[in-house]
Amino acid sequence: MAFTDKQESLVNSSYESFKQNLSGNSVFFYTIILEKAPAAKELFSFLKGSAAVQDSPKLQGHAEKVFGLVRDSASQLRATGTVVLGDATLGAIHVQKGVADPHFVVVKEALLQTIKKAVGDKWSGELSTSWEVAYDALAAAIKKAMA
């Protein structure tokens, strides 16, 4: 099924909601990930050894990158029907950190919950599906680069 203009604009506008409170949303995003996968804390250089998720420019920067790449992926899907990784090193980074398939599910769930919180009453099934499709295509491209 083609990724539509409507789906792209839903992703774009909710990405702006995410950015509106980058600090709070980023902390929420990591908190959900660590609730679901506590061991993942040791994977992130900027979380390692800390008791709780601490807000920092680094933490926000990494979270912003992840959400930004999903947003780019939505635009690529709408324009070309596929996702090509702009950064060829993404596969190697994740292999080196020991990221495995189940982690991608955890990050996906955390991403969706974070967008849900960011958009409040604008949340809808269509909005959710748009993020899911864009994330799944990006995750598939990263996994392919990891293989």
- Region near ligand ISQ per CB under 6 A, out of 29-37, 79-87, 115-123, 135-143: 29-37
Whole-number minimum distance, CB 102 to ligand HEM, in Å?
9
Q: Does 43 bind ligand HEM (CB under 6 A)?
A: yes
Applying CB under 6 A, the span of 9-17, 58-66, 76-84, 120-128 interacting with ligand ISQ comes to 58-66
Angle (nearest 5°) at CA 133 between 28 and 3: 130
* 6 or 65: CB nearest ligand HEM: 65
Regarding 66 and contact with ligand HEM (CB under 6 A), the answer is: yes
**DSSP state letters, 29-60:** HHHHHHHH-GGGGGGSTTTTT-SS----HHHH
Give the residue at shortest CB distance from ligand HEM: 45
Secondary element (H or E) of residue 13: helix 5-20
Q: Which two tokens stand for residue 103?
A: 């982690």
